[in-house]
Amino acid sequence: MNDDNASSEFRTGFFGDRDTAWIETFHRVQRQHRDDINAFAQAFLDSHPVADQRTAEAIRTWADQLPWQDGRDGVEQARMGVRMAIAMRMSYASEPQKTYSFLEFAKLLGVKEHSIWHIVDVGDIRPHAILDDYHDKPLPEVIDSLRFSESDADIFRNEFRRRRHEDFKIEYADVYVPDEGPGARGLEIGPGWIGIVSEFCDQLRSWNAGGWSVHLRWGKEKFGALRLFTDGYHVTSTPLQSYWLSRLRERARRQSLRTCQECGQPGRLRLGAHAGTLCDRHKHLVGALRADDGVILDPDHADADNPPKWTDAELGLDEGTSMDMAKQMEIDFKPFLDPDLVLDGTDQELADLRQKLLAVDRAIGRHPMSTIDEIKRDAIIAEIEMIMSGEQS
């Protein structure tokens, strides 16, 4: 095929750009009309025998001519299926390709077999050959059916690189300092959460620029939620700074409970053989759903005396997603403040308030192993009231 590469649009994460309804219709059309789609794709190759004729534009034009009976839905998905089928046939037919079994492919890439199976099971990348409707087949039968080509090797290598968060590690090398030593941990999270981690590190970067040095060391998924770990306790951190850091971690945790850990689309906690926060498209990854799936939405708030909550207000988030620390302070201290005391929300005012609160915090002193004890809390609240009412600058 010439430089007008028809298969380039079907990149890793292709489905991530589309909503769940579109994807579900696509898969249904592929199952119900596979023979029609494949026949029309093969007809293109028969009608365009010369490689130079098989351009991306020619494929799109051909797919747009796919006859589709009135009353059938999914014409857009069917035409996309034709384009994908043509591109796959061209890729596999362009030159003889050696194929690898599941174990051979793992050895070729130098990875564990289970890591390859997870990528296949996610369903966004399909190998050279796999059983149709493989989610409904016994695992040994599916494993035996897998065949991987040379072109699959590059696709899977790129996917492993994405799952190792290599681009993130380069971009945030100033604030992500990996854990070291015996038992060191890394970023043990799905690719769908890396955006949340990036926002977390953006705030650390802002704090570092202001003279407060904090670094992300490692992170993991536990009970379907994101847990992030920073440098150990800083003897130079004030109680207010420690408080802000704890709020930032909690913000990331709660954001993760609304974000699919595989693709980053909206999701929720799913309970099956294990827990995972996933969208509808990836919920199969936890296995058969338990009877209480959908009842517990926050694993840290699931007992009888502390029922699960889901709205932003109930989760303690501010309006929207910014989670500005000064705004969060206003929310947290609201029960102690005059209800008429409000911030106007301007960036300069928030910046000024942050500096004033830090000054108050430093003047009160440090408390090594806790956030704010009763005496210091009362003093800070009194100072906030004066600042917000204009009695102190």
**Tokens, residue 259:** 């974000």
pLDDT at 37: 85
Closest CA to 66 of 88, 84, 53: 84
Regarding whether 175 and 56 lie in a shared domain, the answer is no
- 256 part of a folded domain: yes
* Number of domains making up the chain: 4
Choose the final residue of a domain: 263, 287, 315: 315
- CA distances 159 to 152, 191, 194, 232, Å, are 10, 10, 14, 32
Give 248: exposed, middle or buried? Use CB within 10 Å, 0-12, 13-18, 19+. Answer: buried
Choose the final residue of a domain: 291, 315, 339: 315
Question: Considering the entire predicted model, what is its pTM?
Answer: 0.61
pLDDT at 370: 39
Q: From the CA atom positions of the chain, what is the Rg in Å?
A: 27
Tens digits of residue pLDDT in 45-98? 878 877 777 888 888 888 888 888 877 888 888 888 888 888 877 766 555 567
Task: Give the Cα separation of 2 and 97 in Å (integer).
Answer: 19
Regarding whether 219 and 292 lie in a shared domain, the answer is yes
Regarding whether 331 and 259 lie in a shared domain, the answer is no
pLDDT at 311: 45
pLDDT at 189: 94
Tens digits of residue pLDDT in 108-118? 999 999 999 89
Regarding whether 311 and 182 lie in a shared domain, the answer is yes
pLDDT at 368: 38
Question: Which of these ranges, 220-229, 250-259, 285-294, 330-339, has the smallest mean pLDDT?
Answer: 330-339
- 128 part of a folded domain: yes
- 320 part of a folded domain: no
Regarding whether 191 and 115 lie in a shared domain, the answer is no
- 1 part of a folded domain: no
pLDDT at 30: 80
Choose the final residue of a domain: 73, 93, 113: 93
Long-range CB contacts for residues 182-188, cutoff 8 Å, separation at least 24: 184/218, 185/217, 185/218, 185/220, 185/229, 186/218, 187/218, 187/219, 188/218, 188/219, 188/220, 188/221
The angle that helices 56-64 and 34-47 make with each other, rounded to 10 degrees, is 130
pLDDT at 366: 44
First to last CA, the chain: 70
* Residue 7 in this model has a pLDDT that exceeds 60: no
Tens digits of residue pLDDT in 172-226? 999 999 988 788 888 999 999 999 999 999 989 988 887 788 899 999 999 999 9
- 198 part of a folded domain: yes
- Domain extent at residue 349: 325-389
